[in-house]
Structure 1
Amino acid sequence: MKLQRKNRLRALSLGAVAVTGALTLTACGSDDMGGSTTGDSTASANSKIDCGDAKGQLLADGSSAQKNAIDAWVKQYTASCKSVQINYKGGGSGAGITAFTQGQVAFAGSDSALKPEEVAASKEVCKGGQGIDLPMVGGPIAVGYNVPGVDSLVLDAKTLALIFDSKITNWNDKAIKALNPDAELPDLKIQPYHRSDESGTTDNFTKYLIAAAPDQWKYEGGKAWQAKGGQSAQGSSGVAQGVKSTEGAISYMELSYAKDGMTTVDIKTGAPDPVKATVENATKAISEAQVVGTGKDLALKLNYTPTAEGAYPLTLVTYEIVCDKGNKADTLPATKSFLTYIASEDGQGLLADAGYAPMPEEIITKVRSTISGLS
């Protein structure tokens, strides 16, 4: 365990680069075409990125939770591999998987692993192979809120379930008061926001509620929101904007979207103290994940009810979904080169500064080996 801990800390620190600016990337056919570069594909003298034979345009879609990470990676990668243009549209996990199984993108990002029927559909695109899940980005699902005068807030799974099921409707409710005896909770209507699109973030958030508050959350879960009431918005950026602009609002989003003064909830778990939504605390929980995929698939089973001190229970892992065999010849070199970079120590080293958690060393080592064998 000490060695694993050392490796995780090393992954957090190695190659950390301050991420400045944001590269806005959208899919082909939209107004903004990010990541476009020209020139040869030889890596610069100061870069460890191996461009190989990578060239041309790489289209991808999927998880909006990882888009800030993808933007940071693309900025570094295309600075070295100047013959590659990468366009990632963060249209949500559902949209990404659909685009992948229809053969529209080279790879997709999803905050949930492929379902059996999606694997079956992928075999039509991956000639002689199938789609596989490569865990690449981790992080906490922050619960952001906008309650004037309340700078610190503790909630547990049961209370969150009742809030997002519209059973607790006011911020001075006795259940919230019991968890926050020192807070000046206002007589203010709660405005819960959920995702309008099919989302792996929704899937992971509701898996947490199902696991930690089964008596309060009676829904099946999945990428589509099922509870009644509340307001909806498109993508992680949409729900984050809803919280920022609406007094009384609360929503779930990847931590990198909970910025610009937004306050996040501390989650009460089985540990003695409530746990903050931080990269480090998410890594503690993700380190308990188990690989449950078979063959080259590296799908993980997360622990949504950790009791270890400082382990944040509301986490997600974003997978890059790609064909293990049967990738298109014109995109395979760029796909392998880019995925190799983002799984490298340098690529994973960017994540902490961007608000994400690197994959534990024992998991990312398997990812690197799998990428090297893509064909």
Structure 2
Amino acid sequence: MKLQRKNRRVLALGALAVSGALALTACGSDDTGNSSGSGDSSASAAAGNIKCDDAKGQLLADGSSAQKNAIDAWVKQFSAACQGVQINYKGGGSGAGVTAFNQGTVAFAGSDSALKPEEVAESKKTACTDGGQGIDLPMVGGAIALAYNVDGVDNLVLDAPTIAKIFSGKIKTWDDAAIKKLNPDAKLPSTKIQAFHRSDESGTTDNFTKYLTAATPDNWKFEGGKAWTAPGGQAASGSSGVAQAVKQTSGAISYMEESYAKDLTSVAIATGASEPVKPSSETATAAIADAKVVGTGKDLSLEINYTTKADGAYPITLVTYEIVCDKGNKAETLPSVKAFLTYIASEEGQGILAENSYAPIPADIISKVRTTVAALS
């Protein structure tokens, strides 16, 4: 109970700090057809606080599909204020985003995994000039839901060893003894398990497999990273692809950022806390509050505690980073990049996340992000 009260207190303090912060905002326009004259009342209200400054032109970006719903929501608000910027975020996956950034073809990238040392070194060659390098700015938090499609089963509990055995192919049917033990009151069918993973390089895959490696190392001995390396299973592209596969396939299960699981049923994870924890913006924020900043210099990459047993903390979480140059950004896109990042790190930008099934970044961390964004050059 003390842990539970502590987590609630952390969330409450974070919310108060965010709501009391100065709203620093930005501008843009939605290339998907949302216009600044849409008449949306919330967008119109946001427009009054957004500062366009010298932002103009087209802003190309790519990366994490997990955060694309958040980006779309931000750009909708964004475009109500500033008509001089067109933002095109492709959402082709974290691997594609980092590659595009390091090739210098996008102004910023989104990734659910922090840059590796070799990727930072590569960023110095083409993406960033004047001695600059790519840095990680945490902007979006979220739970990685395990969504499933099993007839007659609406409340499924799994733990880390069982999840690892499902995704490695060792547990093959939904009435397996290990699943029955965790769900004694459920009517589990003998349906074959159809485990889906991402076919593209994905930070969601990286975070999901980091969880398995940390929480149950005896049952998950496969190499981690953005590419799926375990044997078997079926593959689909992007967060929307695995979500659609689960929806259409009886017996299916897959991992995806929670905003893609809104129309699906998700697993509750038995972590050793007083009760199993379901994915939500609140339970993800509780877990991220336990993260540590491990980046150096202006880099703000985080280390997440995947083995948390705190009440109300969902263990399979991710943080999406916006990747930019600390200095040496292209002069023609820098004003728009700073304006957009300033907005999404603001009170107003972070406030949109929970409305779209994401988790705001804890107040002490997002404060550091705002300071870093203001100094980009």
| Alignment TM-score, normalising by the size of structure 2 | 0.91
- Equivalent pair of 2:281/2:357 in contact (CA under 8 Å): yes
Question: Secondary structure of the equivalent of 2:140?
Answer: strand
Q: Which residue of 1 aligns with 2:78?
A: 77
- Equivalent pair of 1:136/1:319 in contact (CA under 8 Å): yes
- Equivalent pair of 1:65/1:236 in contact (CA under 8 Å): yes
What are the equivalent positions in structure 2 for 1:266-285 lying under 5 Å apart? 266-285=268-287
Q: How far, CA to CA, are the matches of 2:54 and 2:280 in structure 1?
A: 38
Q: Which residue of 2 aligns with 1:244?
A: 247
Q: Which residue of 2 aligns with 1:365?
A: 367
Change (3 A) 1:311 1:57: same
Q: Which residue of 2 aligns with 1:346?
A: 348
Q: How far, CA to CA, are the matches of 2:342 and 2:278 in structure 1?
A: 32
CA offsets 1:255-285 (integer angstroms, 9 cap, x no match): 000022x100000002121001111011110
Change (3 A) 1:36 1:374: farther
Q: Which residue of 1 aligns with 2:167?
A: 164
Change (3 A) 1:248 1:46: closer
Q: How far, CA to CA, are the matches of 1:268 and 1:222 in structure 2?
A: 24
Change (3 A) 1:3 1:143: closer
- Equivalent pair of 1:11/1:358 in contact (CA under 8 Å): no
Question: Secondary structure of the equivalent of 1:369?
Answer: helix
CA offsets 1:15-70 (integer angstroms, 9 cap, x no match): 9xxxxxxx986xxxxxxx556779xxxx9895211110000000000000000000
Q: Which residue of 2 aligns with 1:123?
A: 124
Report the CA distance between 1:13 and its aligned residue: 6.7
Q: How far, CA to CA, are the matches of 1:44 and 1:189 in structure 2?
A: 50
Question: Secondary structure of the equivalent of 1:166?
Answer: coil
Q: Aligned pair 1:291/2:293, yes or no? A: yes
- Equivalent pair of 1:66/1:137 in contact (CA under 8 Å): yes
What are the equivalent positions in structure 2 for 1:137-216 lying under 5 Å apart? 137-216=140-219
AA of the residue aligned to 1:155:
L
The partner residue of 2:330 within 308, 324, 328 is 328
Q: Aligned pair 1:67/2:62, yes or no? A: no
Report the CA distance between 1:141 and its aligned residue: 0.2
User: Which structure 2 segments of 5+ residues have no match?
Assistant: 1-5, 22-28, 38-43
Q: How far, CA to CA, are the matches of 2:299 and 2:153 in structure 1?
A: 44
Change (3 A) 1:24 1:146: farther
Change (3 A) 1:150 1:218: same
Structure 1 stretches of 4+ moved >2 Å: 1-7, 9-15, 33-38, 43-46
CA offsets 1:186-216 (integer angstroms, 9 cap, x no match): 0100000000000000000000000001000
AA of the residue aligned to 1:334:
S
Q: Which residue of 2 aligns with 1:28?
A: none
Q: Which residue of 1 aligns with 2:16?
A: 10
Q: How far, CA to CA, are the matches of 1:45 and 1:158 in structure 2?
A: 45
Identity in percent: 69
- Equivalent pair of 2:18/2:363 in contact (CA under 8 Å): no
Change (3 A) 1:369 1:14: closer
Change (3 A) 1:166 1:11: farther
Q: How far, CA to CA, are the matches of 1:191 and 1:97 in structure 2?
A: 30
CA RMSD of aligned residues (A): 2.0
The partner residue of 1:312 within 314, 318, 323 is 314
- Equivalent pair of 1:37/1:84 in contact (CA under 8 Å): no
Q: Which residue of 2 aligns with 1:30?
A: none
Q: How far, CA to CA, are the matches of 2:47 and 2:188 in structure 1?
A: 54
Q: Which residue of 2 aligns with 1:228?
A: 231
Number of positions where the alignment pairs a residue of Structure 1 with one of Structure 2? 356
Report the CA distance between 1:220 and its aligned residue: 1.9
Question: Secondary structure of the equivalent of 2:349?
Answer: helix
Report the CA distance between 1:8 and its aligned residue: 1.7
